[in-house]
Structure 1
Amino acid sequence: MRQQEFLALLIFSTLFALTRGGRPEKIGAIALFAGALISFLVVRPRGLRFRHIETGILMTDIALLGIFLWLTFRCTRFWPIWISGLLGAETLVHLGLIVAPQVHWEVYLNATALWSWLIQLMLVIGTWRHQMRLMQNGRDPPWRGNIN
């Protein structure tokens, strides 16, 4: 049930950002959707999932962290720094299994999944705030410096 609910949130946040967001929100939405799809494709088969570090998901999370750090430094929005922080925490959960390999696999699964929910909510809030700035100011410049 939780997977279907997350899929609904993922689809909603992606469509909301793609239709109502500026360029940073669209980049974030595409990156997060692609990251979720890649994570689904690289996770170990049932019965073996989350018994050891999910290397494919860890690599996906690190790539997403890089994208959101880039957005943090290049765009005028505040939400990418929140997502970067959440992705950093999610990455640490993966690496924490090295320090504590005896952690039950369900704890590892839930600890990594928690951040994904919050990340989707940050994208929705960031897109909503973009819309509020557009209504208040008539514009919302997306990039710092000379990037268009």
Structure 2
Amino acid sequence: MWHIGAFLIWLTMCCGLAALVGGAAERRAAALLVLAYVASFIAARIRAHSQYTAVYYDAWIIDLLLLIALYVLAIRSTRFWPMWLVAIHVLAVIAHLLRVIDPLMMFEGYYGIINLAGWPMAGIVGIAAFRHRYRVRRFGSDPSFATF
């Protein structure tokens, strides 16, 4: 289970960077990712089985709530990267639906889609924090949300 520790280090680095140097959008996205990870971790500990042979409805609900929150962030933000998060995370939500439709789906595919999507999502948030810091130094300000 080394991959869980590696992901936790990656998530901490990327979201920690967003919390330290990111703008409001980067900090909110980082908080959402960390919150979803903690909720998924708790749900996995409560769940009796973990062989990915059945649909994980608790993970599906967590992923659906994260998708909605990321979509709201993407709509309100002046950035383009939140849409990337939404696009990547849609794959995880669809994987749960596909598992319901086809219970004989290979468990490796189900595992891969719902677990591996978090790696690039955390990386995007970390890169976005660097880009925000660069724009602030270059232009003096970088508002995360449009004011109407």
Q: What TM-score comes out, normalization by structure 1 length?
A: 0.92
What amino acid sits opposite 2:77 in the alignment? C
1:15 aligned partner: 16
2:27 aligned partner: 26
What amino acid sits opposite 2:87 in the alignment? G
Q: What TM-score comes out, normalization by structure 2 length?
A: 0.92
Provide the aligned C-alpha RMSD in A: 1.3
What amino acid sits opposite 2:93 in the alignment? T
What amino acid sits opposite 2:140 in the alignment? G
2:59 aligned partner: 57
- Displacement of 1:107 in angstroms is 2.5
- Displacement of 1:39 in angstroms is 0.5
Counterpart of 2:80 (choices 69, 78, 81) is 78
Bigger RCO of structures 1 and 2 (CA < 8 A, at least 6 apart): 2
Number of aligned residues: 145
What amino acid sits opposite 2:42 in the alignment? L
1:59-138 mapped onto 2 (5 Å cutoff): 59-138=61-140
Identity %: 26
Q: What is the alpha-carbon distance in structure 1 between the residues aligned to residue 95 and residue 127 of structure 2?
A: 24
Q: What is the alpha-carbon distance in structure 2 between the residues aligned to residue 90 and residue 6 of structure 1?
A: 17
1:42 aligned partner: 43
Deviations 1:2-55 (A, max 9, x none): 11110001111121010011111111111110100000111223x444221111
5+ residue gaps, structure 1: none
* Structure 1 residue matching 2:38: 3-state secondary structure: helix
- Give runs of ≥4 in structure 1 deviating > 6 Å: none
Deviations 1:52-110 (A, max 9, x none): 11111111111111111111111111111100111111101111112221123233112
